[in-house]
Structures are given as structure tokens and as C-alpha cells.
Structure 1
């Protein structure tokens, strides 16, 4: 491991890429702490601290996970990377619905460039819409609802004039576009996926402050147990993330001109967690939509369905919340895998190039076999995602943890994202080291 690390920094090209990535991440974190014009940064920090201890702490923790705390602070990069992620998911899902998108996906690099352009346009529209909604909530005093009377009336905005509000919206939208450009620069000129690394940086930025909060409020013993549990979960996540089912594929020999092609054996790798962390994000977002509606409409008077939502769907220690969250993750895992993995298309590609699965006839029988394997491996993958995501909630339910543990960043979605991004980045560094005949990180 140490020899591989030294080899990485001894390679000028690879060293330059790594330092470039670090530089972009530093700029990203600087923009995440830079307040937008017209925002009282000291006042809003006090309100954010109070909100993270209030009744809506869990929903604020979900928001902070993807922005590193920048959104609630109304910073320049407050919107962060979420508009681009949402746009990418929408465009990917539309390939199943819109024939034009499906055609572009099959056109190779030129079609991919066109779909990337559509994703950028949609990102700008979503960033403008999200920035407008966030500023409207801040102006109405509903952004940090439950943080206290001094925060509910929006006192952290120095001026609520229309010009100031428009200026804040434009700054946040421009910040989201700049973050999107940062991510593309990392992907093009650095190492790893740029968007994923920006999310990684936002999550990692929360660790010191929230770890300190657990240490101060719960004591050294609980903090040590949390770290030990996080280590065990980390090992289990790495083990399962690396797991895959390898479907053997044999290519028959064929003559093309005067050359002989084929006759090789390979496999189709189907990961246990084919869907990644997307189902967890979908389930989290859907679960908190009722509470967001209450916040936007200025409700929350403690009567009727609003109180039921607060007590059962938002409260993470309630069994209704835990069970609903778990079932939503399983549903979205099957849904996302069905959208992104097309057995018929894989079977047609194999048949076109003379490939077949030993013992399975080409064509529809191959597609049926791939569907069978995919359904069998998706079940443990969905259960794994659901269990990892609800582990912090179960700890709170069983141990009666307070607000300090409610924002625990060492489990659930945050850990899944960090492990996935870390493994993917290490694989890319490893492949570049192997090209230069160095021994890689992953053995």
C-alpha cells in the first residue's frame, strides 16, 4: 500500500492530476462557506445550530449531506451538486420513455455529448427553480422552521427587497453552474468521477464538527462505540460493494475478411449492488416530501395529518418511518435496476457479435436467463441497501440516542456514498498505475 502510494506521487502525470483534484475540492469548500450577498452569516449559523437540535433535525441532516451544510447557510454554493444529479437521473430515466433519447444513447460518443448538453440545460433550470424556492422560504421565515422565534421570521436576511432576493437567486444559480463545471473538470483532467468526489467532499466536511458534537454530548465511551460500529459497517459495505455475479460468455470464432476473430471467453459482471446509492436517495427524498410541503405552505400547527407526519414519517425513531423507509428502498432498487439494465439489449448485443452463455441458446432464452440472474441478485442487494440505510435509525430506536446521534454521519447513506466513491477512485488510480507497470492499491 505504501509502495503504491509512493509510486503514485512519483509519476508526474498522475501526481499532477491528484493535486488538480485537491485544488478544485479546496475551491469548492471555500465557496460552500462563502455567504451570499445580503445574508447575515453569523445569525444564520446560530439558526442552523438551533435547527439541527430541533424537531426537523433529520430533514436538515438530509439536506446537509449533499451540500456540506452550505444550503442552510445560504452560501454561494448553497445549491451544490443536487440539480446536476437530479437532471442526470431524469435524463437517464427518460431514455426509456422518449425514443429520441434512446436513439441518442445508441449513437455512441456524439449521442452521449448531446445528452450531456441536455443535462446541463436541465441543471440550470432546476438550479434556478431550487434557488428561488430556498430564497422564498428564507424570506418567509420557513427555511429553518423550528429553530426558534428569532429564526422563523427570517432575521438572517439583511434586506428582503426584491432586488436583493433576485441577486441571491442569481448568485446561487451561478454557483450551481460553477459547481457543475468543477465536477466536469475533475472528470476530464483529474482522477475519478468529479460529481461523486464533490459529494464526497461535502459529506467528509461534516465529520469533524458532528463527531465533536457526539463526543461532547454523549461522552468518550459512546463516541468510541460509534467509531467501532462505523468500522464494522465500513468493512461489510466494502465487502458487499466488491461482490458480483460473473455470468460466463463464450464468443465463437468467425472470419472477417482474411482474419479470424472470436474464440475467447469472458464474463458479464453483475454487481450485488447494481443500483448503487440511487434507491436510498429516492426513498429519502420521497419520505420527506410531506414535511417539505408543510414547511413551504407554512403549516405545522400540530393538528391533523401534519402532526401525524411529524410523529411518524419525520421522526426517525418511529417504526412507521423505519419500515416505510426500508420498503421504499427495496422498491426503488428493483425499479432502478429494471430501468438501467436491459436483458434483451444485452442478449441482442451478444448475439450480434457471436457471443453466447454456455448451455443457454442465444436470443430470447439468453435474455430470460439474464433476467432470472438479475432478479436473484437484486434481492440481496436491495436488502443490503435497506439494512445499511436504517442502521442509524435502529440505533436511535434501541439506544434512545439524542439529537447528537440523530445527525450521525458515520452510517447510512453517507457511508454508502463515501465507500462507493472511494472504491471507484482507487480503481481508476490503480488502472493508471498498472499501465505504468506499478503494483496497484487493490490486489
Structure 2
């Protein structure tokens, strides 16, 4: 406890870090206040008794939006349209030469891609806004002016503006705050549901005399979080050596630079939460074909969900990790893997390691994704069960670890001890790795 208090004091003694934390908290507060501002014309009293009880997939969407989706807030669509646009642009980069060219243009190309992503976000918001309003404003008890075309236009504009404002908040947090702003907003939205979900589970167990079961549930949740941390942090490091080089100095003199050692970090879960996001999007289709897929706690839903996650893990890793490109970059930089010849042999070596990592990683990811279904079948209420796995838990763990990493970097740069005893956090990517790894949500 003393070490924890000492770390908190160290954090507040670093002026820049303190300002960034306060700035981040203020923007998060703005986001949370905005999520409670109801869309004009919506009957909030009717929403409390009708729309707040959505379950299944709609309930999951509401969790990601921090409850704003069910409240029909001006920020109901949240950050997800921007995430969808980012995914589309990432996939276009694999097939469209023009996008590939922008990706190779460095900072200027990144700005162009960001601009196109925002335009695509607006288009997605318009379509999603119309569908969303049709769902919630169709019954006359929900909205007061649904017969007015002006109300529909202004509501779509407000929902689109709400999403773009949330996106702007995320970008400001990334630039001037602590952590990845977009991911942090999603995590805050998920965590906002935790107190009520926990209270609901506490009330349910208290009325049934099952407080011991509640304690068992909390212990089980603790171990699930530990396993998720292991999945997120698990890394296979490939050692890389850089050959000595002759460096020209001032005055025409030459010097030999020392050989450097680094490594290529290959994560067990290289695809992050993307396979779960893709699988959840695809699960909407069978739900229209057969009613059995509407039950998120059902056997067939989770069996197909698990298989899709394993398939998408292989697919996403294949399109984001190119062993041939990695081998070429190593060769051009004069680096090599000890005991492996540069070029084709290096590419085959990296590919074989990836193949051995993907299988256990995809299976483990699939198990974590369907754990909420097991929790629901164990008589845990749906709201609290979502915290036992799936995208919610993976995003929260990833965001917390990334934020702690940035805070610890500030502390170490200011000559303070890190957040973890013994210095830097384990399982972290090293900045001087010769091949940069793709970042996921």
C-alpha cells in the first residue's frame, strides 16, 4: 500500500503528466455528460419503461455506447461509426492501389487517410442514424414529432454531429491527454455500465440468499481478467542482430558503429479484438435466417461465433502480417535473425512461428469471447455477464495496460520508479524493434 501511495505522489509530482491526466478526465466528463442529453422530440419517460430493457445484440451495442444507445442520446451512435470507417479504410489499403500509395507517403498520406476516414464516418452515421431513428421513433409513444420531415433531418444531423464530436474528443485525448483516446472512450463507455450491473447482481443474489455465490463470481471474474491479461501481453520475441556499420563523420573520418541487438515481438493474439468485431458483425446475418441465433447465450449462436473468431483470427493476421515484407525490411536495414539466412529463409522462419502462435491464440480468443454465455447460463444477469469476456473485457484490459504503459513512461523519464515493482512492465513492445507491429483497437 505504501508503494501505491508513493507512486500516486510521483505521478502528481510530474507537472506534464498531471496536466495530461486532468485534461483527459475533463474530456471524459464532457463525454459522459453528453451521453445523458436526450435527442429533441424523444419521450424520455417512455424510453425508461420500454427501450432501456433491450437485450441480446442491441444490449451489447448499448454497453459499448455507455448506455447512450438506449437513452436515445445525442451521442447514441457513439464512436462505433468511426471504428467501422477505420476498419473499411484498413481493408481498402489491402486492395485499392490509391490507398496503398497514401499509406506509403508517411505523415502526409496519414493525414489524407484520416480525412477520408472522417468523410466515410459521416456517410455511415447518416445510414445508421436513419435506421436507429426508425427503430426508436417509429412507435408514437417514443417521439413527439415523428411525422415531421424536419425532425428526421435535424435528428440525423444531431446524431452525426454527436459522433463527430466524440471522435474529436478521442483525438484530443490522444494528442494532449493520456492513452489512446478512441479506445479510452470505448472503455469508459463499457465501465460506465459496471456499477449498475454489479448492483443488479448484488440485489439478485441478496434476494435469493446467494451472497456466497456472488463472492465466487467475483473470484471467477478476477481469474478471467488475469487470463485475459496473459493473452494480451503474451509475446514471442524473435532476437535480431544488426551488423556493424562504417559511419562517415565530420572531417572525412570514418568510424565503425557497434552491432545492436533487438527483437521482433510476435504477440500470441496479434489480431487484437478485430476477429470478435468482425464475427459479431457477421452474426447479424444468421439471426435473420433462424431465430435460434438471436439468443446470445444459446449453443448454436456461440458455436458459430467461436468458429468465426478462429477463422477471422487467421484471416486478419494474414492480411496484417507479411513475413516476406518483414524479411525484406530486415535485409535492407542490415539486420538478421541469428542462425537464419536472410531473405526467403527468414520469411519462412517468421511464417512458421506465426502459424504456431495463431492456433492457440485464436482458440483462447474464441473461449474468452463466449465466456459471457457461460456466465448467463450460470444465472448471472446479462449486464454483469458481459464483463466476463468478449470484446468488453479485451478492450478494457488492453486500454488499461496501454494507459499504464504511457504513465509509466513519463515516470521513468522523470527518474521515478515505474508502476510495477522492478521497473518497466513486462510483455511490452520495445521501441527500437526493427519491424513495427500493426496496432489494433
TM-score (norm 1): 0.88
**Structure 1: distance between partners of 2:256 and 2:135:** 66
1:239 aligns with 2:235: no
SS of 1:266's equivalent?
Answer: strand
Q: Runs of 4+ in structure 1 displaced over 4 angstroms?
A: none
1:310 aligns with 2:291: yes
1:438 aligns with 2:416: yes
Gapped regions of structure 2 (runs ≥ 5): 249-253, 424-441
Among 242, 249, 253, the residue aligned to 2:244: 253
Match of 1:150? none
What do residues 148-183 of structure 1 show as CA deviations (whole Å, max 9, x unaligned)? xxxxx3411111121112111111100001001000
CA separation of 1:48 and 1:214: change in aligned 2, threshold 3 A: farther
What do residues 119-142 of structure 1 show as CA deviations (whole Å, max 9, x unaligned)? 1111111112211211122233xx
Gapped regions of structure 1 (runs ≥ 5): 141-152, 295-304
**Structure 2: distance between partners of 1:69 and 1:154:** 22
**Structure 2: distance between partners of 1:64 and 1:261:** 56
**Structure 2: distance between partners of 1:39 and 1:290:** 32
Contact conserved, 1:80 with 1:176, CA < 8 A, in 2?
Answer: yes
Deviation at residue 317 of structure 1 after TM alignment: 3.2
Match of 1:273? 269
Deviation at residue 354 of structure 1 after TM alignment: 0.4
Deviation at residue 341 of structure 1 after TM alignment: 1.4
Deviation at residue 316 of structure 1 after TM alignment: 2.7
Deviation at residue 65 of structure 1 after TM alignment: 2.4
Deviation at residue 407 of structure 1 after TM alignment: 5.4
Match of 2:200? 213
Match of 1:375? 355
SS of 2:388's equivalent?
Answer: coil
Among 47, 67, 88, the residue aligned to 2:86: 88
Match of 1:62? 60
Contact conserved, 1:250 with 1:355, CA < 8 A, in 2?
Answer: yes
1:181 aligns with 2:168: yes
**Structure 2: distance between partners of 1:338 and 1:158:** 50
Match of 1:149? none
Contact conserved, 2:373 with 2:385, CA < 8 A, in 1?
Answer: no
What do residues 84-130 of structure 1 show as CA deviations (whole Å, max 9, x unaligned)? 11111111111111122222222222221221111111111111221
**Structure 2: distance between partners of 1:93 and 1:327:** 21
Cα RMSD (Å) of the superposition? 1.6
Contact conserved, 2:376 with 2:385, CA < 8 A, in 1?
Answer: no
| Mapping 1:8-407, distance limit 5 Å | 8-49=11-52, 51-52=53-54, 57-140=55-138, 153-160=139-146, 161-219=148-206, 220-257=211-248, 258-261=254-257, 263-291=259-287, 294=288, 305=289, 309-311=290-292, 313-397=293-377, 399=378, 401=379, 404-405=381-382
CA separation of 1:98 and 1:159: change in aligned 2, threshold 3 A: same
Tell me which moved more, 13-22 or 204-213.
204-213
SS of 2:78's equivalent?
Answer: coil
SS of 1:408's equivalent?
Answer: helix
Contact conserved, 1:250 with 1:356, CA < 8 A, in 2?
Answer: yes
SS of 1:246's equivalent?
Answer: strand
Contact conserved, 2:42 with 2:137, CA < 8 A, in 1?
Answer: no
What do residues 222-279 of structure 1 show as CA deviations (whole Å, max 9, x unaligned)? 3322221111111111123221000011111122432434511110011111111111
Match of 2:385? 408
SS of 1:33's equivalent?
Answer: coil
Deviation at residue 406 of structure 1 after TM alignment: 6.0
TM-score (norm 2): 0.89
**Structure 1: distance between partners of 2:42 and 2:93:** 41
Contact conserved, 2:375 with 2:385, CA < 8 A, in 1?
Answer: no
Match of 2:438? none
CA separation of 1:69 and 1:3: change in aligned 2, threshold 3 A: same
**Structure 1: distance between partners of 2:174 and 2:220:** 33
What do residues 388-427 of structure 1 show as CA deviations (whole Å, max 9, x unaligned)? 1111212334x3x26x236523212211110010001100
What is the aligned length?
407
Deviation at residue 290 of structure 1 after TM alignment: 4.2
Deviation at residue 438 of structure 1 after TM alignment: 1.0
Contact conserved, 2:74 with 2:158, CA < 8 A, in 1?
Answer: yes
CA separation of 1:283 and 1:185: change in aligned 2, threshold 3 A: same
